[in-house]
Structure 1
Amino acid sequence: MTKRKVLIIEKASELFAENGFDATSVQDITDACGISKGAFYLSFKSKENLLFSIFEYFSDKLIARMGGLLDLEIGTRERFELFFSVQFEEIARYSDFIMMQMREQTSPGNAEMLALINELRQRTYKVQERLLLEVYGDGIRKHMPDLLVLLSGLIKGYIEIIIFNKDELNYVELGAYIVERTDSIVAGLSEPFLKSDQLIGYRVNGSNTMITADELLKDIELFKHVVKDEDLLISLDVIKEELSEKNHRKPVIQGMMSNLKNHAGTEALLGKLNLFIKSMC
């Protein structure tokens, strides 16, 4: 993502949070950024397209921070605590924007947005699953769907406090507190209630790979519903065909990925493809 796009996203999110989405004009955004309207439209097709990009930008930052935890040379419990702290920090940072979105119900409700939400949910589940297994061992694997639901409910309650009450909580202490509560939940597990196919966005693949070919195929299919550019559709179809083969040809996928870079709104998909490519090494 270019520096100009990041500037527009950051300034626009502040204006939307302060004045509301409808009350903020493209002129307001360009004035705040010190750019022309022409420069704005070179980066974003419309204000609605910008709104989606803000969601995408925030989601990518959260995913990157969560993924980075796996590379830290720290204890497993500390890593698990940071997993929760990071989420609360990012939510707090953009709480005014989130509040605006909830108040005005401004959400680009299309297949592309649904794909973004599904991606964030999947990636969060995958990191959380890995951390749970690191801390509590492989014996909890059969309980994973229930654990993810229980922890999601627990986290949601604190997120609501952060957004609606504007309370400045100590996120480090809160992360440690949630891990302690997780200890109690794990200690009281008996028989699993949920099956993996009952949990939205969760798949058991038995590997350490963060992104699978099946996930990418479904994401690409969702993304195609909102794509009109013929060249982009052709590139997506070539990638789909390659991912459907047993032996993926890395150079072919990378060649088509270079075509995707020329189109707006492909950053999230490119990020997932890059992770998949790295797993092939």
Structure 2
Amino acid sequence: MTKRKILIIEKASELFAENGFNATSVQDITDACGISKGAFYLSFKSKDSLLFSIFEYFSSKLMNRMSGISDYKVNSKERLVLFFSIQFEEIARYSDFILMHMREQTNPINKEMMGIVNEMRQKTYEMQENLLIDVYGEEIQQHMPDLLVLLSGVVKGYIEIIVFNKDVLDYDGLARFIVERTDSLVMGLSEPFLKSEQLVGYNRVGSDLLITTKMLIKDIELLKLEITDDDLLVSLDVIQLELSLQEYRKPVLTGMMSNLENHVVTEKVLLKMKLFLGM
């Protein structure tokens, strides 16, 4: 993302939070950024597309910060504390913008937006699962869906306080409090209640409406970094190129997908492709 786009995103998010989305004009944004309208439209097609980019930008920042937890030279429980505290810090930083978006019901959730939401949910579950196993051991794997739902509900409750009440909380202290409660939850586990397939976004995709070509291309790019098989790489290259077209050809995609069958490493991408194409 260019410096100009980041500038527009950050200034616009401040203006939207302060004045509201509908009351903020493109002229207001360009004045705040010190750029022309022409420069604005070179970066964004419209104010609506800018709003989507703000959401995407904030989501990426949050995911990048949480992904960097593994770089901290602390023990596994401290990493779990960081996982929660980072979420609270980022939500608090943009709470005014989030509240504005909720109140004005701007830019109703569409296919692309749902794609980002689903991708965030899945990545968050994956990171949280790894952290929980590091802290409590492999034996809690069977309880993971229940744990993720319980912790998600707790975290959501505190996020609502941060956003709606505008209370400045001790986010590190709150994260430690939640980890202590997690200790208690783990100690009280008996028989699992939920199965993994009942939890949307947990090692699966909820529906084809939540998958976008952008998500698939990104997944393919990451997958290619793990693969050394030339035949698989060629098939993935063709699929990626086809998805990047304005109108992809389903027969081409299905033909290349057949080459991905019966390979463990391609299972996830193949499943997403099938759901995306309605197969």
Query: Fold match, TM over 0.5?
Result: yes
Query: Structure 1 residue 147: deviation in Å?
Result: 0.3
Query: Structure 1 residue 76: deviation in Å?
Result: 0.4
What does residue 21 of structure 1 align with? 21
Q: 1:111 to 1:36 in 2, by over 3 A?
A: same
Q: Give runs of aligned pairs for residues 172-251 of structure 1, distance below 5 A.
A: 172-203=172-203, 222-224=211-213, 248-249=232-233
Question: What is the rounded CA distance, in whole Å, between the counterparts of 2:117 and 2:66 in structure 1?
Answer: 16
Structure 1 position 112 matched with structure 2 position 112:
yes
Give the TM-score normalised by the residue count of structure 2: 0.77
What does residue 136 of structure 2 align with? 136
What CA deviation, in whole Å up to 9, does each residue of 1:10-53 have, x standing for no partner?
Answer: 00000000111111111110111001111111111111100000
- Given that 1:52 and 1:108 are in contact with CA atoms closer than 8 Å, whether structure 2 keeps it comes out as no
Give the TM-score normalised by the residue count of structure 1: 0.77
Q: CA RMSD for the aligned pairs?
A: 3.0
Task: For 2:37, give the aligned amino acid.
Answer: K
Secondary structure of the equivalent of 2:152?
Answer: helix
What does residue 272 of structure 2 align with? none
Task: For 1:180, give the aligned amino acid.
Answer: E
Question: What is the rounded CA distance, in whole Å, between the counterparts of 2:160 and 2:238 in structure 1?
Answer: 41
Secondary structure of the equivalent of 2:24?
Answer: coil
Question: What is the rounded CA distance, in whole Å, between the counterparts of 1:107 and 1:173 in structure 2?
Answer: 35
What CA deviation, in whole Å up to 9, does each residue of 1:81-118 have, x standing for no partner?
Answer: 01000000000000000000111111342111000000
Greater mean alpha carbon deviation, residues 188-197 or residues 69-78: 69-78
What does residue 269 of structure 1 align with? none
Q: Give runs of aligned pairs for residues 1-281 of structure 1, distance below 5 A.
A: 1-203=1-203, 222-224=211-213, 248-249=232-233, 253=237
Secondary structure of the equivalent of 1:249?
Answer: helix
Query: Structure 1 residue 256: deviation in Å?
Result: 5.7
Higher-Rg member (1/2): 2
What CA deviation, in whole Å up to 9, does each residue of 1:208-255 have, x standing for no partner?
Answer: xxxxxxx7xx79x8324xx9xxxxxxx95xx69x98x98632897499
Give the length in aligned residue pairs. 236
- Given that 1:51 and 1:108 are in contact with CA atoms closer than 8 Å, whether structure 2 keeps it comes out as no
**Identity between Structure 1 and Structure 2 (%):** 64
Task: For 1:159, give the aligned amino acid.
Answer: I
Gaps of 5+ in 2: 245-264, 266-279
What does residue 255 of structure 2 align with? none
- Given that 1:81 and 1:179 are in contact with CA atoms closer than 8 Å, whether structure 2 keeps it comes out as yes
Secondary structure of the equivalent of 1:248?
Answer: helix
Question: What is the rounded CA distance, in whole Å, between the counterparts of 1:105 and 1:170 in structure 2?
Answer: 30
Secondary structure of the equivalent of 1:59?
Answer: helix
Q: 1:86 to 1:253 in 2, by over 3 A?
A: farther
- Given that 1:48 and 1:108 are in contact with CA atoms closer than 8 Å, whether structure 2 keeps it comes out as no
Task: For 2:163, give the aligned amino acid.
Answer: I
Task: For 2:232, give the aligned amino acid.
Answer: H
Question: What is the rounded CA distance, in whole Å, between the counterparts of 1:62 and 1:253 in structure 2?
Answer: 30
Task: For 1:141, give the aligned amino acid.
Answer: Q
What CA deviation, in whole Å up to 9, does each residue of 1:172-228 have, x standing for no partner?
Answer: 111111000000000000111111011110017xxxxxxxxxx7xx79x8324xx9x
Task: For 1:197, give the aligned amino acid.
Answer: E
